Amino acid sequence: MEQPRRITDSCPRRRRRRGPGRPPGRLKDKKDKDKVQVKVRDCPRSPSQPPPDAALLEMLRRFDLCWEYGPCTGITRLQRWERAQELGLSPPDPIRDALLEHRDNPEVTYRWVWGGM
């Protein structure tokens, strides 16, 4: 009697080769490790911006949670506000003013799902 086929039977199993005495996920020598740390340290950072006011973030969070203005996934808050305006849903004007005022601040521009708010 023939055994039933499994989805894993169609793909051969491959294992990564490791060098002798080399545990997985480790760099070859210390020089390479230092280079990686230097690269991370030398990355240009965005100019520091003052954190937005807590009341502003709370107002934006309430706007995010209000489904009256449509879904907010994949677009900026300003795009969502403009879409709601075009659909005649009359979103709050203070939201638009705050978004235009803090246009360069990603904490205000984008909805933070994980941890930010």
pTM of structure:
0.55
Of 87 and 26, the one with more pLDDT = 87
pLDDT in tens, 24-37: 665 555 555 555 55
In the numeric block, which tokens belong to residue 11?
A: 């793909």
Question: What number of other Cβ atoms are within 10 A of residue 115's Cβ?
Answer: 5
Q: Any idea of the CA torsion for 95, 99, 101, 105, to the nearest 10 degrees?
A: 140
pLDDT in tens, 51-66: 888 999 999 999 999 9
Kind plus residue range of the DSSP H or E element containing 40: helix 30-41
